[in-house]
């Protein structure tokens, strides 16, 4: 199906384990983003990528690693999960940069619980 | 510092009543402003956006928003709420390139019959 997908949709893990959340988009959008959503905070940007092999930190990058070897994929890795990383994670994409080209398209989210 | 404030954590309105959700922002340059809606268990969907021109913006699902520079506000309105509008609503501000977007904490809308 066309669009932006995330997997898994739900994940339970234990403190200290490595977890990778996947994000795939079929639009060939240049920009991709990872957000976390926590009650009372709205969405906070973790990392974003302007193109393959180009990534940059957002507001809350600590404890997370990203890579983007292909335009369509943007995985997010928690190298050693902590309870504070229990959250709902959203991936988003955007076609590019330019006047009016600002809308982001969001995936359905991954609910991660760290025990 | 750039920020977005949504003063109301939750709002309850009766079906058929009018709705206004408040949003105030702090941004140094000309902002790009958005309203997104999130239904339970879903991702965010764009309702409308503003970056220039007419300060009254029309969106999907019968929503509109008005940009008031003097008040640093971008309030969302709907003249008649439907039960299906029950969701969480996020106001957001972005830089010119659209790659640094700041979201408000959200307002949850409850609709009563």
Region A98-112 average pLDDT: 82
A38 Cβ contact partners less than 8 Å away, ≥ 6 residues apart: A44, A87, A88
Structure tokens belonging to residue B47:
């309702």
Q: Do A103 and B44 touch (CB under 8 A)?
A: no
CB–CB contact B44 A108 (8 Å): no
Partners of B36 on chain A (C-beta within 8 Å) are 106
pLDDT in tens, A65-74: 999 999 999 9
DSSP B106: -
- To the nearest whole angstrom, how far is the Cα of B97 from the nearest Cα of chain A? 5
First to last CA, chain B: 41
According to the per-residue pLDDT averaged within each range, which of A96-105, B13-22, B37-46, B50-59 is highest?
Answer: B13-22
Look at residues A35, A15, A14, A33 and name the one whose alpha carbon lies nearest to residue A25.
A33
The mean per-residue pLDDT over the stretch B22-36 comes to: 89
Contact B44 A90 (CB under 8 A): yes
pLDDT tens by residue, A3-50: 999 999 999 999 999 999 999 999 888 899 999 999 878 899 999 998
3-state SS, B60-81, equals: HHHCEEEEEHHHCEEEEEECCC
pLDDT given at position B97: 67
Task: Give which of A47, A49, A104, A110 to mutate to test B binding, by max B Cβ within 10 Å.
Answer: A104
């Amino acid at each position: 199906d066309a669009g932006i997908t995330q997997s898994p949709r739900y994940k339970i893990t234990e403190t200290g384990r490595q977890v990778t959340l996947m994000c795939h988009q079929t639009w060939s959008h240049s920009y991709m983003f990872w957000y976390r959503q926590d009650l009372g905070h709205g969405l906070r940007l973790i990392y974003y990528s302007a193109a393959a092999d180009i990534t940059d930190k957002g507001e809350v990058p600590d404890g997370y690693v990203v890579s983007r070897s292909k335009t369509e994929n943007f995985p997010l890795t928690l190298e050693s999960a902590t309870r504070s990383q229990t959250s709902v994670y959203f991936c988003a994409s955007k076609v590019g940069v330019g006047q009016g080209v600002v809308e982001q398209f969001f995936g359905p989210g991954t609910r991660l619980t760290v025990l | 510092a750039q920020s977005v404030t949504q003063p109301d954590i939750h709002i309850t309105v009766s079906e058929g009543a009018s709705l206004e959700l408040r949003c105030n922002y702090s941004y140094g340059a000309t902002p790009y402003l958005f309203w997104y809606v999130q239904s339970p268990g879903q991702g965010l969907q764009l309702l409308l956006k503003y970056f220039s021109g007419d300060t009254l913006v029309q969106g999907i699902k019968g929503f509109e928003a008005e940009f008031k520079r003097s008040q640093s506000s971008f309030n969302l309105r709907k003249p008649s709420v439907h039960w299906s509008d029950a969701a969480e609503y996020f106001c957001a501000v972005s830089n010119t390139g659209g790659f640094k977007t700041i979201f408000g904490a959200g307002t949850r809308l409850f609709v009563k019959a």
